[in-house]
Amino acid sequence: MKKRQNSFVQGAAILGIAGLIVKIIGAIFRIPFANAVGPEGAAYYDAAYPYYSFLLVISSSGLPTAISKQVSASVAAGDHRGAREVLDVSLVLLAVIGLVTSLMMFFGAKTFAAITSFEQTVLSFRALAPSLLFVSVMCAYRGYLQGMQRMAGTALSQIVEQVGKLAIGLTLAIKLLPDGPEYAAMGALIGVSISEFLALVVVFLFYMKRKKAFDARAAKSYAEPAGFGPVAKALLLVAVPITIGASISPLTAMVDSALINRMLQSLGFSEELSTKAYALLRTYVTTLINMPGVLTMALAMSLVPAISSRMARRDFAGVRDASRMGLKLALIIGVPCAVGLFVLAEPILRMLYHKLTDAEIALAVDLMHTASVGVIFLSMVQSMTGVIQGLGKQMVPVVNLFIGFVLKVITLIVLMRIPSVNIQGAAISTVLCYAFAGVADTIYMMRRTKMKLHAFDLFGKPLLASLAMGGVVYLIYDFIAKSGHVTVATMFSVLVGVSVYGVLVVVLRMFSPDELEFIPGGSKLKKLMYRNRSKRAQ
């Protein structure tokens, strides 16, 4: 039992580390890609991708989890033949789903392009179509291997996916750019399909290397086969709720893709200007806004098992402490990131996207100022989702995020009709979506765990430290930038900001002695924060 538990922990760690690497590579890809293809090419890429993500959710979110769960349960019961049957059924199920969605995207490319109002995206949709089949089949093997506690195959294939997208996609985009921005976007998305095929090959080879051992165990099992229907039904019962939850994020991006360009043109924007405005929001600004999410997603992943184990032991005080820590860390990470992106919006954009014109930078800065507020709420959503899932209430964050999505659609349509607001309406609507979901999740968590709100401790200290950090960063940047070294000024300001905020975390004692136990290296921080108290106690 202990060996199996250790195997689970090691497997979760492997997937967690791979997930972080994947997110970092994904974020890195979008910056050189945007610089290479410009706003127009980036717009075509980002207009097509949400529809691909939405169709991909059907095969890549709920079903791998369901497969993993069913395989794990069969193995725990000693039924290795049943585990093999789950793989066989899921391969058929996912191959059909993948083939249908792939054909739908390829032959429906003109329809999808018309929905986005970017007619040039037809090539992008067709370039993405094959990857839907590759990912679907790959997810069957990933789910099976995870259920067998063989996480390395999934982790390696995820890294191959992202490295392939970065290397192949970027190379093809640059190679095809002379033919036009729509061809550059197509090249990047062909890179996605190729990288997914390579990832499928990796995970298949990983499976084949272990197939003999898996088959030998299955041969020793004498359990009767359950049949295709019952196994498929069991998989879908687990997969559907997860799939619904995972579909909300691509739905949000689909709304932007379908409405923003169309509504800007209805206000009198030219096609070129509306395309650029869409790209500045969806590619340039959103990429930076989502970067702090790498940290909060890692936090959310660690919160689920931490809270689940305490719930299983009925350690409700421990659940409350872990939940409070989750919220506190989300704010301690999210608030300074939001302030930093707000204060350094222009220099960061100029440093990373050096090919943008002054007019494009000016619009991107305005959008960044609005969208940066959403970093706080997005951090809360990600952290509280981990907490609430740990409490065993998986659908609560889904419902809250869906209500936030509906609110986003309404506010986007209302605000973007106002000529003076225009594209800012889309940024505001996204902030409101995450604000509702983040606050609703937090209220639910507090009621469920009976946690008391200490406003200054949770919100006041991070805000106070972040504002102080923002002031120092602004002064440092302004002083160095006058010498003409804008990039140096930006990078040095960020380093100073991180250092100042770190010192203020210690000075303001943002963590209690007990909370520091949750943090790696917390014992050292404990000595640093509370050394005066220790001396007085002596």
pLDDT in tens, 326-352: 888 889 999 999 999 999 999 999 999
Has residue 231 got a pLDDT over 50?
A: yes
CA 136 to chain CA mean position, Å = 20
Residue reference for tokens 């750019």: 177
* % of the chain at pLDDT higher than 90: 44
pLDDT in tens, 39-87: 999 999 989 988 998 888 887 877 887 888 888 777 777 777 778 888 8
pLDDT (mean) for 491-500 = 94
pLDDT in tens, 347-387: 999 999 988 999 999 999 999 999 999 999 999 998 888 78
Q: Return all residues near 477 (Cβ < 8 A) that are at least 6 apart.
A: 343, 344, 347, 489, 490, 493
- Please report the sign of the dihedral spanned by the C-alpha atoms of residue 514, residue 518, residue 519, residue 521: positive
Q: How many residues does the chain have?
A: 538
Banded model confidence at residue 123, pLDDT cuts 50, 70, 90:
very high
pTM of the model: 0.82
**pLDDT: which is higher, 117 or 135:** 135
> What ranges in 108-180 are assigned the alpha helix state H?
109-116, 122-147, 151-164, 170-176
Residue 155 confidence (pLDDT): 79
Has residue 7 got a pLDDT over 50?
A: no
Domains of the chain, by residue range, sit at 1-246
Q: Per the structure block, which two tokens stand in for 393? A: 């209430």
Q: Per the structure block, which two tokens stand in for 424? A: 């800012």
Cβ-count burial 204-220 (b if 16+ within 10 Å, e if not): eebbeeeeeebeebbee
pLDDT in tens, 13-45: 565 566 667 777 777 788 888 888 999 999 999
Closest C-alpha to 31, from 170, 131, 214? 170
Q: Per the structure block, which two tokens stand in for 27? A: 């974020």
**pLDDT: which is higher, 51 or 322:** 51
Has residue 3 got a pLDDT over 60?
A: no
pLDDT (mean) for 187-198 = 94
Looking at residue 281, what DSSP letter applies? I
Cβ-count burial 246-271 (b if 16+ within 10 Å, e if not): bbbebbbbbbbbbbbbebbeeeebee
Q: Per the structure block, which two tokens stand in for 535? A: 């001396």
C-alpha separations of 234 from 73, 239, 454, 475 in Å: 12, 9, 44, 60
